[in-house]
A and B are shown apart, each in its own frame.
Chain A
Amino acid sequence: MNMHPRALEHAYSTLDHVIPNESELTAGVRIEAGRSYGFFTDTTVCIGCKACEVACKEWNNLPADNIGLTGQSFDNTGALSANSWRHVAFVEKSGANGLRGGQDQKFQSGWLMMSDVCKHCHNAPCLEACPTGALFKTEFDTVVVQQDICNGCGYCVPACPFGVIDVSTVDGKAHKCTLCYDRLKGGLEPACAKSCPTDSIQFGELSDLQIRAAERVEHLHGIGVDSAYLYGTPGAPGATGDLGHLNAFFLLIDRPEVYNLPAAPTRPANRVAPSLATGLATVAALALASAFLFAPQRGERP
């Protein structure tokens, strides 16, 4: 096992202090302001344990919501919401596109599991829609809602192409994953990535993660999983419609829609100019039509 040399400095199981730059030991990355951080979620190694969901709720002091059974496989979280910032999707299907093909027991389903989260979009539509400036880009290139500035107008909710951000019915403010902004400031890896037992969620500097993800896709292709591809890296599906790239991106082995992700998300801001032009053209056309209709006819008295 590779152990970071700094780990020897902290050999006791009870500590009276926070380990400085702990993320170096747990994720192999030092967190520094001005750099770009994100998540690489490799869905092929997710086992659906929901440790990420629990770690997120624990750290962020979020209540369990959606009480009851959804009837959707082992998924009782249902969807991302103001109180659920990680959601493990369970897609039951046979064969799982060659990954576990032929190894399933008779009548046993194949599984696609994916821990969904805010994508921390490069050109974040939620941030563009926010009239108060409550949503902002942090020094770690992540997208966070400032609670004291949010007025709960909810403009960000329909602007998000992934259906992530949500306004709480209790405090009336918008909430979503902060990529553990408070932990990053303290040099700690985000709670979900730290708790993931299979490293399906990997935290790190975006450029490193993108290289690591490309190598993983190549490896999977090499062992016969031709369906593996990245969602959200520059030029890939998910990073469409001027979104730039997603700081939280995924490795998938089926169509995005199967995981409840949009195939080609877009920035709603792109539609402002065409909508405005269409509106102005309609007004002009109606004005012209009424001028013809109601103009005095030849021979008629004005």
Chain B
Amino acid sequence: MTYVKEGVVTIVQESRFQLTDDNGVSHLFLLDRNAAAEPAQLAPLQARQARVRVTYEPARNLIGLVARSVRLLPPSQAR
């Protein structure tokens, strides 16, 4: 089952990132090995404080979420 969250990338460490949603709640994501994004692309997203849409699945035996894709939202959809 895949879910979606939107927000701003606020912390990046290796392939792990924190997404802060519109309610100010932060979520810990781990980039999946088959994700449609590279770990090296995360740091510029954090630096730009860009809004992104993340599709994800819950992780097994981890308190974190597995990101399957990270998409930059077009400016019209950005708040």
A residues apposed to B, CB below 8 Å: 59-67, 83, 147-148, 152, 168, 170-173, 175
Contacts and interface: CB of A to CB of B under 8 A. Distances in A.
A83 B16 CA distance: 10
30 contacts: A59-B13, A61-B13, A61-B16, A62-B13, A63-B28, A63-B30, A63-B59, A63-B62, A63-B64, A64-B62, A64-B63, A64-B64, A65-B61, A66-B61, A83-B62, A147-B39, A148-B38, A148-B39, A148-B40, A168-B30, A170-B32, A170-B62, A170-B66, A171-B15, A171-B32, A171-B39, A172-B33, A173-B14, A173-B15, A175-B14
Q: Is the contact region of chain A dominated by helix, strand, or loop, or is it mixed?
A: loop
Contacts of A64: 62-64
B8 interface: no
A59 B31 CA distance: 18
Contacts of A83: 62
Interface size class of B (residues with CB under 8 A): 20 to 34
Contacts of A148: 38-40
Q: Is the contact region of chain B dominated by helix, strand, or loop, or is it mixed?
A: strand
Interface string B6-50: 000001111111100000000010111100001110000000000
A180 to B, nearest CB: 11
**Best-surrounded residue of A67, A147, A148, A171 (most CB of chain B within 10 A):** A171
Nearest to B16: A61
B43 to A, nearest CB: 11
Contacts of A173: 14-15, 33
Nearest to A169: B60
B62 A65 contact: yes
CB-CB nearest 5 A-B residue pairs: A63-B64, A172-B33, A61-B13, A64-B63, A171-B15
A66 B63 CA distance: 9
A67 B63 contact: yes
B31 A171 contact: yes
Nearest to A178: B14
A170 B30 contact: yes
A171 B28 CA distance: 14
Contacts of B38: 148
Contacts of A175: 14
